[in-house]
Structure 1
Amino acid sequence: MKYLVVIEKGPRSWGAHVPDLPGCIAAAKSRSEVVKSIKEAIEFHIKDLRRAGAKVPAPHCEAKLVTVSAA
């Protein structure tokens, strides 16, 4: 499965979250570390949902970069 991951750079660290998996988040000092961490978080999150007998949400979010002119 492929899930959309939102990656954000903060003042001192990087963060990531998965819109299709509420509560699935990661933080790290570098972009590469946060990508690795969010992959692990997704796997753990899905395993935990399955263990609990909960439905694993299918990926449905998409992303699109758009260009806008400043008003």
Structure 2
Amino acid sequence: MRHRSFRDGGSEDYAKGIVCYDRIEPEAALILLDAKQIVEARTIARCCLENLYWIVGLAEDGDNFVEQMAG
């Protein structure tokens, strides 16, 4: 599968999607904690950290990072 180039918005589209999820996930984790669903809250917290990794990778390497992760 060929990814769009950075100039075509390929990496930028990935980043926008990640940021959208990252705005929702912390609130969801808190709701789950209030409901005593600890495992589920920890899973979402881990996803937030993974999203941070993706955002930094996209900011630093753009399409090159996408290609590496798509493997």
User: What range is the shorter-chain TM-score in?
Assistant: 0.3 to 0.5
Q: Structure 1 length as normaliser, TM-score?
A: 0.33
Greater share of residues in strand: 1
Greater share of residues in helix: 2
